[in-house]
Structure 1
Amino acid sequence: MTATLIATDIGVYDQRGERLLEPVSLQLEPGRPLVVLGETGSGKSLLSQALIGTLPAGLAASGRVCLGGSHLDAAQPADYRRLWGREVAVLPQEPWLSLDPLMRAQQQVAESHRLVRGLAPRAAISVAGEELEALGLAGALRRYPHQLSGGMAQRVAFAAARAGGARILIADEPTKGLDAARRDEVAALLMREVAAGGSLMVVTHDLALARLLGGEVLVVRRGALVERGDSRAIFEAPRNAYTRRLLAADPRCWQRTPPVPAGGPTVLQARDLGVSRGGRVLVEGLSLRLGAGEILGISGPSGCGKSSLGDALLGLHPPHAGTVVRSVARPQAYQKVFQDPPSAFARTLALGQAIADLVRRQRLDGSRVEPLMQRLRLRPELLARRPGEVSGGELQRLALLRAMLLDPVFLFADEPTSRLDPLTQQEVIGLLRELAGEGCAVMIVSHDPELIARTAHRCIVLDGAGAATVPAPQPRPDSAGAALLR
Structure 2
Amino acid sequence: MSVLLKLTNVAVFVGDTCLLEPISLELKQGQPLTILGQTGSGKSLLAQAIMGLLPDTLSFQGDIEVFGKALTLEQRQALWGRDLVMLPQEPWHALDPLMKGINQVAEVYQHVQGKSQNDAQASAQQDLLDVGLADSAHKRPGQLSGGMAQRLAISAATAGGAHVILADEPTKGLDVSRRDGIVRLLQSRSIEGSLLTITHDVAIARQLGGSLLVMKQGRLVEQGDALDVLTNPQNHYTRELIAAEPKSWPDVSVALANKTTETVLVAENLAIERGGRTLFENVSFSINKGEVVGVVGDSGCGKSSLGDALLGLLPVSAGLVTRSNHTAKPYQWLKLYQDPPSAFTSSVSLGTLLKDLVDLHNIAQERIVPLMTRLNLPESILQRTCLDVSGGELQRFAILRALLLDPVFLFADEPTSRLDPITAKDVTNLLVELARETGCAVLMVSHDPDLVRKTCDTVITL
The TM-score by the shorter chain falls in which range?
0.7 to 0.9
Q: Which residue of 1 aligns with 2:120?
A: 128
- Cα distance in 1 between the residues matched to 2:383 and 2:8: 39
Equivalent runs, 1:302-381 vs 2, <5 Å: 302-332=299-329, 333-381=332-380
C-alpha contact 1:151 1:182 (8 A) present in aligned 2: no
Question: 2:116 is paired with a residue of what secondary structure?
Answer: helix
Q: Which residue of 2 aligns with 1:197?
A: 192
Structure 2 length-normalised TM: 0.87
What is the letter of the counterpart of residue 127 of structure 2? Answer: L
What is the letter of the counterpart of residue 36 of structure 2? Answer: L
* Residue ranges of structure 1 left out of the alignment (5+ in a row): 463-486
Q: Which residue of 2 aligns with 1:272?
A: 269
- Cα distance in 2 between the residues matched to 1:211 and 1:231: 7
What is the letter of the counterpart of residue 54 of structure 1? Answer: L
26-35 or 170-179: which moved more? 170-179
Structure 1 length-normalised TM: 0.83
Q: Which residue of 1 aligns with 2:286?
A: 289
Equivalent runs, 1:440-455 vs 2, <5 Å: 440-455=440-455
Q: Which residue of 2 aligns with 1:475?
A: none
What is the letter of the counterpart of residue 325 of structure 1? Answer: T
Question: 1:417 is paired with a residue of what secondary structure?
Answer: coil
Q: Which residue of 2 aligns with 1:252?
A: 247
Evaluate the alpha carbon distance shift between residue 322 and residue 100 of structure 1 in structure 2; reply closer, same or farther with a 3 A threshold. Answer: closer
**Equivalent of residue 233 in structure 2, options 232, 238, 246:** 238
Q: Which deviations, in whole Å up to 9, do the C-alpha atoms of 1:190-235 show, x marking residues without a partner?
A: 12134x3321111122222222111111111121111101111121
Greater RCO, CA 8 A, separation 6+: 2
201-210 or 386-395: which moved more? 386-395
- Cα distance in 2 between the residues matched to 1:172 and 1:307: 24
Equivalent runs, 1:403-414 vs 2, <5 Å: 403-414=402-413
Equivalent runs, 1:64-143 vs 2, <5 Å: 64-72=63-71, 76-104=72-100, 107-109=103-105, 111-113=107-109, 115-116=111-112, 119=114, 123-137=115-129
* Residue ranges of structure 2 left out of the alignment (5+ in a row): none
C-alpha contact 1:33 1:215 (8 A) present in aligned 2: yes
- Cα distance in 1 between the residues matched to 2:357 and 2:51: 43
Between the aligned residues of both structures, percent identity stands at 48
Q: Which residue of 2 aligns with 1:400?
A: 399
- Cα distance in 1 between the residues matched to 2:335 and 2:102: 37
- Cα distance in 2 between the residues matched to 1:142 and 1:90: 24
Question: How many equivalent pairs are there?
Answer: 450
- Cα distance in 1 between the residues matched to 2:88 and 2:372: 33
**Superposed displacement of residue 263, structure 1:** 5.5
Evaluate the alpha carbon distance shift between residue 29 and residue 309 of structure 1 in structure 2; reply closer, same or farther with a 3 A threshold. Answer: same
Evaluate the alpha carbon distance shift between residue 398 and residue 199 of structure 1 in structure 2; reply closer, same or farther with a 3 A threshold. Answer: closer
**Superposed displacement of residue 67, structure 1:** 2.2
Question: 1:4 is paired with a residue of what secondary structure?
Answer: strand
Question: 1:184 is paired with a residue of what secondary structure?
Answer: helix
Q: Which residue of 1 aligns with 2:173?
A: 177
Q: Which residue of 1 aligns with 2:7?
A: 7
- Cα distance in 1 between the residues matched to 2:402 and 2:150: 31
**Equivalent of residue 214 in structure 1, options 209, 213, 221:** 209
4+ runs deviating over 6 angstroms: 138-141
Question: 2:185 is paired with a residue of what secondary structure?
Answer: helix
What is the letter of the counterpart of residue 49 of structure 2? Answer: A
C-alpha contact 1:21 1:47 (8 A) present in aligned 2: yes
